Amino acid sequence: MKGGCAAEMELVPIGLIRSPFWRLEEAPRQGIHTKEVSTIEVFAEFAPALEGLEGFDHLIVLYWADRAPRDALRSRRHKRRGVFASRSPARPNPICLSVCELVGIEGNRIRVRGLEALDNSPLLDIKPHVPELDCP
């Protein structure tokens, strides 16, 4: 499957992240290290899928770290740690996961606090954060 066009696992961008972090050096390593607000622009065709999201305090944002290297298997930060034991965006599938505070939703624009994503990162998914499921 690798190297080809894996139609059965084909990602579609569902939106874009507008963040104050334009360059890698400006972005916090993790969202909890920032109070900045980012705006998630969900493409209009997917806006109906947002209904009911306003009832949650925190969201799980999945985005594609399009500027991260994909060939790393070991952490550069931590010795003796592989990338699957780290939260670095550098990994075979650079899907980043950030638990963010929901600030507000207006139409297809969602404002969140605590997202470390670089500006223009492609959005893959949004899920409600559910403590019962996510905090064992």
Q: Please give the residue ranges that form the binding site for its own copies (CB under 8 A).
A: 1-2, 5-14, 30-32, 42, 46, 48-53, 55-58, 60, 62, 64, 66, 73-75, 78, 80-87, 91-93, 95, 97, 99, 101, 114, 122, 124-136
Closest approach, Cβ 68 to its own copies, in A, equals 12
By C-beta, is 26 or 134 nearer to its own copies? 134
State the nearest-atom distance from the C-beta of 26 to its own copies, in Å: 20
Q: How far is the CB of 30 from its own copies (least distance, A)?
A: 6
Q: Which is nearer to its own copies, 18 or 127 (CB)?
A: 127
Measured from the CB atom, the residue of 37 and 124 that comes closer to its own copies is 124
Find the shortest distance in angstroms from Cβ 120 to its own copies: 12
Give CA separation, 47 vs 94, 97, 111, 112, in Å: 25, 21, 14, 16
E strands, 21-134, where? 37-42, 58-64, 95-106, 109-113, 121-128
Chain CA centroid to CA 46, Å = 17
In DSSP terms, which residues pair with 99 in a beta bridge? Answer: 60
CA angle 102, 128, 94 (to 5 degrees): 90
CA–CA separation, 84 vs 90, rounded Å? Answer: 10
**Which of 91, 117 has the CB closer to its own copies?**
91
